Amino acid sequence: MLYSWLTVVLCLSLKWVSCYEVSNLTFPDSFLFGSATSAYQIEGAWNESGKGISRWDYITHSMKIVLDGSNGDVACDSYHKYKDDIAILKELGVNYYRFSIAWTRILPDGFTNDINQDGVDYYNNLIDGLIEAEIQPWVTMYHWDIPQVLNYIGDFNNPNTSDYMVYYADTLFSLFGDRVKTWITINEPITFCAHYPLGSLALGAVLPPGITEYLCGHNVLRAHAKIYDLYQRKYKESQSGRISIALSAEYAEPATDSAADLEASERKLLFDFGWFAYPLVYGNYPSVMIDTIRNLSSLQGYPFSRLPTFTLEERLLLKGAYDFIALNHYTTSLTADASADVKSPNFLNDALVNQYKDSSWETSSASWLTVYPEGFRKLLVYIKKTYNNPEIVITENGYADDPGVLNDEGRINYIKSYLSQLLKAIYEDGVNVTAYTAWSLMDNFEWYNGFTVRFGLYNVDFDSPNKTRTAKESASYYRNIIETRCLVDVCEE
Ligand SMILES: *[C@@H]1O[C@H](CO)[C@@H](O)[C@H](O)[C@H]1NC(C)=O
Ligand SMILES: *[C@@H]1O[C@H](CO)[C@@H](O)[C@H](O)[C@H]1NC(C)=O
Ligand SMILES: *[C@@H]1O[C@H](CO)[C@@H](O)[C@H](O)[C@H]1NC(C)=O
Ligand SMILES: *[C@@H]1O[C@H](CO)[C@@H](O)[C@H](O)[C@H]1NC(C)=O
Ligand SMILES: *[C@@H]1O[C@H](CO)[C@@H](O)[C@H](O)[C@H]1NC(C)=O
Ligand SMILES: *[C@@H]1O[C@H](CO)[C@@H](O)[C@H](O)[C@H]1NC(C)=O
């Protein structure tokens, strides 16, 4: 009764075309809640205290591609205001904070011959402050802000970058691994390898499409596997942490019930999530990727497959190189078969699908982000089934709205409806989801969208010198979920 009343009120107040079912199940006792940010999006202090230049410093200063012409020079000024960040995390009551380390703050030139003590001090202070507040530090090593010097030599298209990242990771383990027990090596490789080909943009050159996406992905996987292996050999015994790589996946909802569209949906999930997850779980790319790209390459006149192959040694290193599946999920697209239509070589065309949005899905302030909570549950069930029922940690999930919205009902509805589907996946489908990370703790620099769209639970006043953080309604709602472990007023015991 209470729940139906709530639903009706929410539906009317925002004129939603569809209303979402809200679960009254209780989160398991061991379930963890957190929130996340990344270094370039919040830290600012881009040229202070010995920090080197990252790709995003370079992009925002040298190229006019950010929507509002902004940059992350100051952003939330978390380099100076990390105590404010810890205070709001404490207010939220989260179990952990997922943040990233800026490679160029630790290694200004990208390499370990120069370690910047000010950068080390900054992260030590942040980590110690979190631990003192009883918040676990979860660290992402690389969240898109690669040292510009490595971008100049080809980024992850250069196999040596994998090795350089291993040295960086080794440095982080030895500096912070006594206190950091959850590591994410790399965030969303599909985004920087295939969706935002920033390597090519920053170099001012057009790299060959259909080639570099796979080279980049290949070297990302090699880097991850080597870092995982290094940790097992050198640190696991003394530090006993766990490691994964954060993979983003949309759900690919079949556009119709036809066999061709069902197959297209499977194929797209294997191209997107499977590109990285399959090698980690099974030691190689999904055979549908191997076969499809080989056939397409041949049709397109290449004497080799555009998808590289792993050596046997690499396959052995890859297989099992994860302690849990780290999933970033936001949205779903309808997926239709397009296998009759061979287009020009590039990652998006290679999956031989057409994707679009259902017009009935609620939209957000980010064009790519439409609201379809059922897709979240379907994706979780798909991952359970396809990847041997792994432990799944949601490392990102969140909603985009406009600047200045403090009464953010759209975000509350999103969190409520997505977490409802997550609870169903746990209790009705037996999916082993153990943690949920709300993206993002606070409004921040949203890459190409600059400051035009907002993902924060906390509003940041970017005009104020203090970059004042103010709780939105969604922050209170999230805090209440964490406190009660329940999405509604009364939950099932
Ligand atoms: C750092 O960048 C700011 C602009 O964001 C500039 O005003 C300042 O002079 C720079 N500082 C140094 C040390 O280069
Ligand atoms: C860089 O790559 C070359 C060619 O594969 C290799 O010989 C060399 O050892 C690599 N250097 C490092 C530091 O990994
Ligand atoms: C690739 O081509 C071979 C030979 O023509 C064909 O048997 C196979 O079905 C094709 N596979 C895919 C996934 O396109
Ligand atoms: C979920 O995964 C964790 C970590 O592997 C494991 O300890 C736990 O028993 C699993 N829970 C279920 C219900 O499978
Ligand atoms: C900015 O923060 C400082 C220290 O937290 C505080 O003393 C000051 O009043 C704040 N200024 C504004 C305008 O909020
Ligand atoms: C939870 O929801 C179910 C049906 O959706 C209902 O039967 C049950 O009474 C509810 N429990 C509570 C405590 O409200």
Q: What does the pLDDT average to over 401-419?
A: 98
Q: Where are the beta strands (DSSP E) in 250-290?
A: 251-254
Catalytic status, residue 188 = yes
All residues at 6 or more sequence positions from 303 whose CB lies less than 8 Å from its CB, including other chains = none
Asked if omega into 440 is within 30° of 0 (cis), the reply is yes
pTM, to two decimals: 0.95
Give the integer Cα–Cα distance in Å for 199 and 351.
22
- The answer to whether 326 and 277 have CB atoms below 8 angstroms apart is no
Residues forming a β-bridge with 328:
248, 396
Q: Given ligand 2 and candidates 112, 113, 163, which is best to mutate, with the most ligand atoms within 8 Å of its CB?
A: 163
| Residues present in the chain in total | 493
Identify which of 206, 243, 208 has the alpha carbon closest to the alpha carbon of residue 224.
243
11, pLDDT greater than 60: no
Q: What is the pLDDT of residue 403?
A: 98
Question: Hey, which of 46, 47, 54 would you mutate to test ligand 1's pocket, going by the most ligand atoms within 8 Å of its Cβ?
Answer: 47
Residue 428 phi/psi, 5-degree rounding, is -95, -30
pLDDT mean over 409-429: 98
389, amino acid identity: N
Q: Which among 481, 336, 340 has a CA at the least distance from the CA of 411?
A: 481
Residue 343 reports pLDDT greater than 70: yes
pLDDT at 4 (0 to 100): 41
pLDDT in tens, 355-368: 999 999 999 999 99
**43 catalytic, yes or no?**
no
* More confident call, 86 vs 59: 86
Residue 15 is predicted with a pLDDT of 44
User: Which of 192, 186, 356, 344 is closest to 268 using CA atoms?
Assistant: 356
Residue 490's Cβ-count burial label (10 Å; 0-12, 13-18, 19+) is: exposed
291 lines ligand 3 (CB under 6 A): yes
Q: Rounded mean pLDDT of 244-252?
A: 98
Residue 214 Cα distances to 197, 210, 251, angstroms: 11, 7, 21
Average pLDDT estimate for 391-409: 98
Q: In the prediction, which pLDDT does 8 show?
A: 40
Beta partners for 354?
336
Check residue 430 and give its pLDDT: 98
pLDDT reported for residue 13 = 47
Q: In percent, how much of the chain has pLDDT > 70?
A: 94
Rounded to an integer, the average pLDDT of 149-178 is 96
Q: What percent of the chain has pLDDT over 90?
A: 91
- Average pLDDT rounded to a whole number, residues 261-282: 98
**pLDDT at site 195:** 83
- Check the CA dihedral 396-398-403-406 and report its sign: negative
Chain Cα centroid distance, residue 144: 11
Q: What is the pLDDT of residue 202?
A: 54
Residues 464/453, Cβ–Cβ less than 8 Å? no
End-to-end CA distance of the chain: 18
One DSSP character per residue, 433-447 reads: EEEEEEE-SB----G
Q: Is 432 in the pocket of ligand 4 (CB under 6 A)?
A: yes
CA distance 459 to 55: 27
* 296-339 per-position pLDDT tens digit: 999 999 999 999 999 999 999 999 999 999 999 999 999 999 99
Distance (Å, rounded) from C-alpha 17 to C-alpha 10?
A: 11
Mean per-residue pLDDT, 203-217: 85
C-alpha span between 489 and 483 (Å, rounded): 12
How high does pLDDT run on average in the chain?
A: 94
